[in-house]
Structure formats: C-alpha cells, structure tokens
Chains A and B, each alone.
Chain A
Amino acid sequence: MIRRCFLGLAAGLALALGLSGPAAAQDDFIIVQSTTSTQNSGLFDHILPIFAEKTGIEVRVVAVGTGQAIKNAANGDGDVLFVHSKPAEEKFVADGNGVERFDVMYNDFVIVGPAADPAGVAGMSDVAAVLAKIAAAEAPFASRGDDSGTHKAELRLWGETDVDVAAASGGWYRETGSGMGATLNTGTAMGAYIMTDRATWISFGNKGDYQIAVEGDPKMFNQYGIILVNPEKHPNVKADLGQQFVDWIISDEGQAAIASYQVDDQQLFFPNAGS
C-alpha cells in the first residue's frame, strides 16, 4: 500500500518529466527581440495573428527594454530586432550584428503628471523648457534609468537643458531602473512626472489622477525600426523566416495592420516605412 502510494507519486513525477520534453516539432517560428511598449500596448496581439495566418510563421516575442533587446540580439538570441532607439539600432547594424535597418512606425513621447501639477508645466509644449521648470521646482521626476529606448530619449532631452540629472539622482530625480509599466506604477504613487511613450500610457490601467501634462514637441517623436539579425555573424538565425517578417511589416499590408490598431478609439502607432 505504502509502496503503491509512492509509486503513484513517482509515476506522477515521471509524467511531469515526460511532458516537459520539447514541444511538438514546430520549426516555423521566429524569435523577435522587442520592447515592452509594443507588447504591453497590445500591438503584437493585433498584428501577429494576421501575419501568422498569411505565412504560417509563428512569431515569439521577447519583450524587454531596448537596451537589453539589443544585447540579446547581439548575442544571436533572436532572429529579428524591433525596437525604438535609432542611434543604437544604427550602431547595431554598423557592428555587423544586423543586416539592414528599416523604419517601421512612430508614435510620440508624452510627459504625464499629477492633476495638481506641482511644477506648473501642464499645457506647455516646449519640452526643454518643461524639463528645466520641473528641475527648478525640484518636483519629483521618475526616470526609467534602465538604458531603454525611452530612457535614452529622455536623457537626450535633458541634454538640451543645463540640468545635471546625474547629480540630482536620488533627490527629486528618481531612477527606477525598471520597465515602463513598473516606472508608471512607481512614479504615479510618488506624485512624480514621468516621460512615457503614448501607446503604453493609453493602455496603462493604473492611471490614478494622472493626466498628460506635456505633448506635441517634435523632439518627442519616437521612431521604431526593424532589423534582421545578421545570419553571417549568427548562423542560427532563421534568415528566411525572419526576412519574411521584416518584409511583411514594411509592406502595405503590414503597415495597414499597424495603422488599424486602436485602443479607446485612438490610433497608437503610425506606420511610416519607406518614407
């Protein structure tokens, strides 16, 4: 009896072991290293089924910050890179890790803040002036601080002011070292201003009394690009399948799929391949 019980337990464990073998041979998939904004906004859930239906290729998305996505792809851990930091993407190609970079789509960054607007920046549109004013007021500002595309863009904008955010870090300037969603959760809880891409903000579910305080500066343009990881450098890259995905994304059909994605009746990404 006892032995039978333990045999049963062992059989159960063996079953679990057997089940953990590789999933059924399914080679028609690619891995796309991408960012949290494209994933969390629901864009991929909208466009990938369309692509899969047409080609039979399953796209597996690893959504991390742009910095980490680029490092993963540079290690060969992915077939396609789909991120938003043009200078870093161009360096990725120049280093021989990618074949060629294509523009895909854009949206924009906004600065969100509490309804009370402690720095008095609501409605302004000159982002450099806004940042300078936030710094002067020493109003809390939550930064990603994680080398992501959004973080890099934010640092470029601070670079247009004479504020030294590194010196202010730990005071009013707070680096969360986390993804966009985590930074929004943290920042809204501490009453800080936060720069976020519009897509993540619109689909974010924990806004509290926060509103978009600043938008519309052309400097807050946020361009996304797509790159096939270089199969000459990384032989495991599924160049053919990956190229099909890249071609589709920048084709009229892929661009139309991107344009048709809406949350709360708002278009989140604006296709601009080949423009």
Chain B
Amino acid sequence: MFFFRKTGENAPLDGFGSILAEAVGLILAWDPDLIEIIALSLRVTLTAVAIACLIGLPLGAAVGAFRFPGRTVVTVVLNALMGLPPVVVGLMVYLMLSASGPLGPLQLLYTPTAMVIAQTILVTPIVAALTKQVVEDLNREYAEQFASMGVGPLDRVGALLWDARYSLLTVALAGFGRAVAEVGAVIIVGGNINHVTRVMTTTIALETSKGNLQLALALGVVLLTIALIVNAAVMAIRASAVRAAYA
C-alpha cells in the first residue's frame, strides 16, 4: 500500500513536529487504503457503541431507578466489568466463534461482525454502569413525583432516560473512547486482515512491529483527530439541542 512506504532507512524519531507533519500529510494524501481503514474503524466502533447503548441504557436505567434484591451485587459487577481486559474479551469471543467453538457454524471469526461483538462486550458495562449513576441521581429528584402520579416502571425508565439525555451523550462518548482506542480484542477476533478487518489500532500495532515508529505515531495522531471530530460533532448536537430546549 502506498502509505506504508518506509519512513526512511533507520528512520529516527525526529520529534513531534515532523510526526505531526507526517500525520497531516497522511490525511491530505487521502490514500484509499487509509480511508478504508478509517472507515472500518468508525463503522465497527460506532456499531458497537450503538448496540451497547441499546442494551446498556435501559439496563443501567433499570438498575438506577429500582430497588430489587441483589441490586448492590449487580452494581458491583457492572462496575467491575468496566475494567474487562480487551485481550481476555478477545480470547472469549475467539473461543465462541472459532470453527471448534459453539458459534463456529456462523462463520463470523475474522469478520468485522466479530470485532463489533467483542467491542460491544467491552463497551456495554461502561454504558450501563455510568447510566446507572446518572439515572440514580435523577431518580432521587423525581421519585416523589413518579409516586404521586402513579407512573409505571416502563414510563419511569423512559422519562428518566429522556431527561438525562444530555448526560447520557457523554456516557456514549466514554464508550466510544474505549472502543475506538482498543486493539487487544479486535486483533484476535479480526485477525488484522488487510482490506477486511484492518482498523486504525491494528494498523498502528502492525507498523510498530515493522519498526516504522514514526508512521505508527502519525497514524496515532490521525486516530486522535478522528476521535476529536466525533466528540466535537456530538457536543455540537448536544449544544444545539440544549439551546432549542431552553429557547
């Protein structure tokens, strides 16, 4: 691939300026291979975050809003799962999806779908645990009102999630940050296959192992830029929504 040229024989690290220049060069060159890798990174990560939100938001809200036996245990487990080591998740998903594993017939190993599954497992506990915290605080304010109006449990969760939506955007962004930066799980279940499952983080790992440290760092700067853009976009949506709400 074009952008995988060597950065020069025994290229030393020439300081941050030249790394930054190389990163800008990488973006400006608009190399189709690099674009493909960036697109796959975003596709996998955003899908994983979306699924994690579909599961984690209601789950976290339910734990935050209701008292039930074992609630403390669920909370502790959710909080602990936020620290799941990606490599362990990668291995678990590999064993499930392997041709010798229970889900082998689905033939999902070494596909982007496998990477989405691994990242969803990593991100869901983060979304759920942080949502639980946000909703619990809000529920304290609302509890009496809910009780006096006789609001049912489903409507309660819905109302709490809706009213906490701005804070929950930040929750989703925390999940996005975890997923987009993650390499240990996706490299095991994706296999870092060129044009199929190669994403930004596995490319950075590959270039590091080839000794192309400058290129690896420049790719890191590109990844950071993408994360910045996504965060800025979400924050802009949030700001305009808040303005509209109080206008």
Contacts of A181 in B (CB 8 A): 208-211
**Distance in angstroms between the alpha carbons of A77 and B105 in the assembled complex:** 11
Q: How many A-B residue pairs have CB under 8 A?
A: 120
A76-B99, A206-B10, A236-B104 as given contacts; A2 in contact with B244, CB under 8 Å: yes
Contact A77 B98 (CB under 8 A): yes
**Distance in angstroms between the alpha carbons of A181 and B213 in the assembled complex:** 11
Interface residues of B in 1-54 (CB under 8 A from A): 1, 6-11, 42-44, 46-47, 49-51, 53
Count of chain A residues with Cβ under 8 Å from any Cβ of B? 42
CB-nearest residue of chain B to A206:
B211
Contact B209 A179 (CB under 8 A): yes
**Distance in angstroms between the alpha carbons of A139 and B82 in the assembled complex:** 43
Contact A75 B99 (CB under 8 A): yes
Contact with B along A10-23 (1 / 0, CB 8 A): 00111011011111
Comparing B64-72, B123-131, B187-195, the segment that makes contact with chain A is: B187-195
Contact B237 A8 (CB under 8 A): yes
Contacts of A207 in B (CB 8 A): 9-10, 211
**Distance in angstroms between the alpha carbons of A14 and B49 in the assembled complex:** 11
Count of chain B residues with Cβ under 8 Å from any Cβ of A? 49
Contact A205 B10 (CB under 8 A): yes
**Distance in angstroms between the alpha carbons of A203 and B7 in the assembled complex:** 12
Contacts of B73 in A (CB 8 A): none
Binding site for B on A (CB under 8 A): 1-2, 5-6, 8-9, 12-14, 16-17, 19-23, 31, 36, 40, 45, 60-63, 72, 75-77, 179-182, 184-185, 203-208, 234, 236
Binding site for A on B (CB under 8 A): 1, 6-11, 42-44, 46-47, 49-51, 53, 98-101, 104-105, 107, 109-113, 116, 165, 191-194, 196, 206, 208-213, 215, 234, 237, 240-241, 244-245
Q: Which 7 A-B pairs have the closest CB atoms?
A: A181-B209, A76-B99, A206-B211, A1-B244, A62-B191, A205-B211, A13-B50
